[in-house]
Amino acid sequence: MPTGGVDVTHESIKSWFDAGVSAVGMGSKLITKTLMDNKDYSTIEEEIKKVLDIIKSIQKA
């Protein structure tokens, strides 16, 4: 399970799953310091949903 170098794009996430991982971890690429400083929880929620949708689409393929 990689936790570094995972971007929040379909291409990045798919490349990790194509390489054989069963999970990916994301930190600052998903939840940025700016979002946290601004307490922008709605954007954080939206971004997490987008990433989960990407993962679901990859797993179905």
Q: Provide block-wise average pLDDT over 10 residues at a time, the chain (61 residues).
A: 94 96 94 97 97 95 82
pLDDT at 61: 82
For residue 5, count CB atoms less than 10 angstroms from its CB and return exposed for 0-12, middle for 13-18, buried for 19 or more: exposed
Domains in the chain: boundaries? 10-60
User: pTM of the predicted model, to two decimals?
Assistant: 0.86
